[in-house]
Amino acid sequence: MNAGPLAGLTVVEVGGFIAGPFAGQLLGDYGARVIKIEPPAGDPMRHWGVQQEGKSLWWPAIARNKESVVLDFKEETDRATAADVFSAADIVVENFAPGRLTAWGLDYATIAPRNPGLIMVHISGFGQDGPRANDRGFGSVAEAMGGLRALLGYPDRPPVRAGISLGDQVAALFAVSGALAALTERHRTGRGQEVDVALYESVFALSESLIPDYAIGGVTRTRTGSTLTGVAPSNVYPTRDGVEILIAANSDSLFHRLCLAMARSDLDEDPRFATHQARGDNAAELDGIIANWTAGLDARTVELLLDKHEIPRGRIYTPADILADEQYRARSMVTEVAAPGYPQPIPMPNIVPRFGRSPAEIRSGGPELGAHTDSVRREFST
């Protein structure tokens, strides 16, 4: 038996790359049985990123807690097998282009009469309808069209991207929350439904007040480097020993305590910094004052002073910092998982969030291609 709050549920994941597989990873993390259907060539994620002996070091994490079944949807018998598996599932997560499942006879309208409780989650670039529904869309395109890229970087340079596949992973999070919302509704009605997740809409949903700022306030928010306009102090500051520390003291009470930590009570009374609005208007000057203070001290001294005055802070972490951090270790946030075909356990992020009464677990690393094809065929054949 699987552990976790979704134990007893069966999820089928079809598609590839990041958004659908990350949604499948999360559902598997929470205890669902996840049957991953791959084409004969396998999910491209098996070979993405840094590799060890030709195998992706990302694969054991994004495919953990999954069974691998190889089906070729060009073949009628394999489409029939997929229909049988869909008909026994609680949730299907797919990220093909809209219309592909219909062409294969695996769409919701075809499967739902056999499985009225089925929840089918679609993840696509632009959603299942609209003038661009059939256009291809990656997470990077979603970040551009969702308004995010316009806000990343410095105003005198082209937009930059985050160093992770943010658009895809945000869409996966909405896919999981949508699936769980539909599951809750199914408990009341006994009926499943379709859940439509568009990558660009998932990014746009994070845009906070971007639209009313423009439409009503007449302000077009743009790239502001390492700061957020009107919010200060909240920036990264250097220390004498070369460490960079992010300090967030942008409320009145936090700024008052920062002044105490710096032994600069005069700043608290300075009209340039005495209010939230004033600090935002004079952020660059304030950042310079704080940077001069931190640059004269070792990082640990700065941290102790900030902690004494209860001011949020954190170093800019590299992977080495994460692996050495006592908070990460105390909560076992980095875990090592054995995966078939890999000569050593693979370190990866542990499950988020934690569940107090029904703890989840990582039961297995990413499977070998087709490792469960025969057993799943036998189990679900009609």
Type of residue found at 71? L
Of the residues 168, 270, 287, 374, only one is catalytic, namely 168
The answer to whether 168 is a known catalytic residue is yes
CA 114 to chain centre: 33
- List Cβ neighbours of 67 (8 Å cut-off, separation of 6 or more): 33, 34, 35, 36, 367, 371, 372, 375, 376
Query: Where in the sequence numbering do the catalytic residues fall?
Result: 168
